[in-house]
Amino acid sequence: KNEVEQSPQNLTAQEGEFITINCSYSVGISALHWLQQHPGGGIVSLFMLSSGKKKHGRLIATINIQEKHSSLHITASHPRDSAVYICAVVPNFGNEKLTFGTGTRLTIIP
């Protein structure tokens, strides 16, 4: 079982819809990352958080450490939000290296 599970694996929505992508993990962590990968491959860091909530423009990331769960929300979705969204955690034991989920492919239809 992967230490980091994302759901859904694929998500298609209409432009303007509110989007939620979930990430659950099974280990204790010191931080969690949300990354965005557009078609063509470039990966961009969206958020790094260890508690609470962060907001940047139309993107909101939340984390519940006790429940080992994080969500990425997109408000007023737009076709340019179409990408793969990747969750990654920093375990608080061992060598503290990132463990990645397999990503959620989001497609926003105009």
Residues forming contacts to other proteins in the complex (CB under 8 A) are: 2, 4, 30-31, 33, 35, 41-45, 48, 86, 88, 90, 95-98, 100-103
Q: Within 13 A of 67's CA, how many CA atoms are on the CB side?
A: 10
CA-based nearest residue to 7, from 21, 27, 17, 18: 21
Pair 6, 20: CB distance under 8 Å: no
Q: Closest approach of Cβ 105 to other proteins, in Å?
A: 11
Q: Which is nearer to other proteins, 44 or 76 (CB)?
A: 44
Report phi then psi at 82, rounded to 5: -60, 120
Q: Closest approach of Cβ 4 to other proteins, in Å?
A: 8
Q: Which is nearer to other proteins, 45 or 75 (CB)?
A: 45
Q: Closest approach of Cβ 102 to other proteins, in Å?
A: 4
